[in-house]
Amino acid sequence: MAQKTFAETLYGFLERIELILVAALGVSLLTQYLKVAGAATGIQLSLSGLAGVYFLMAYRPPAQAPSGEKKGFSELLSLTILPKVLWIGCAVGAIGILFQLLKLDGAREMLTIHASTGGIGIILLAVLSLQQGNDSNPFIPVLYRAVPLLLVTLYMLLM
């Protein structure tokens, strides 16, 4: 059995932390709905933690291509650049949502940045995915985070 590298261990740990933070956010939102004291603190902590996790996930090393195989610009764009942009956009979106809930200055700007980068990135990934015809796309995990955050961001921008 091959030993895991530090990066593999770190990103596996970050994925587990993300699950815990999403669960904490869900519980905090439920307690906020039930008007329990202290729910806002849980929302703030979990959104801040999620933003940090999303920012760190942008630095995950891309999967290595088999040696000797050359990749073009569209593969570089879809496998490396766009996922990094979407991860950082998710971090900005999570902080923007936090700022919007706290009614701080700059919230609308952060939500606008996330909406524009997320929307353009998702559209480009869809076009490149159809063009390349990949079945096992490594950018699917970032889409699972970017699309719901984009919907929440658009809701908050329009309300």
Tell me what the pLDDT averaged over the chain comes to: 87
3-state DSSP call for residue 95?
helix
CA distance 86 to 93: 10
Q: Which residues contact 85 (CB under 8 A, 6 or more apart)?
A: 117, 121
**Pair 117, 86: CB distance under 8 Å:** yes
CA distance 111 to 34: 27
**Pair 18, 50: CB distance under 8 Å:** yes
Q: What is the pLDDT of residues 19-65, one digit of tens each?
A: 999 999 999 999 999 989 888 899 999 999 999 999 999 998 876 65
Q: What is the pLDDT of residues 74-104, one digit of tens each?
A: 778 878 888 899 999 999 999 999 999 999 9
Q: What percent of the chain has pLDDT over 90?
A: 54
3-state DSSP call for residue 145?
helix
Measured in degrees and rounded to the nearest 5, phi and psi for residue 99 equal: -65, -40
The whole-model pTM stands at: 0.87
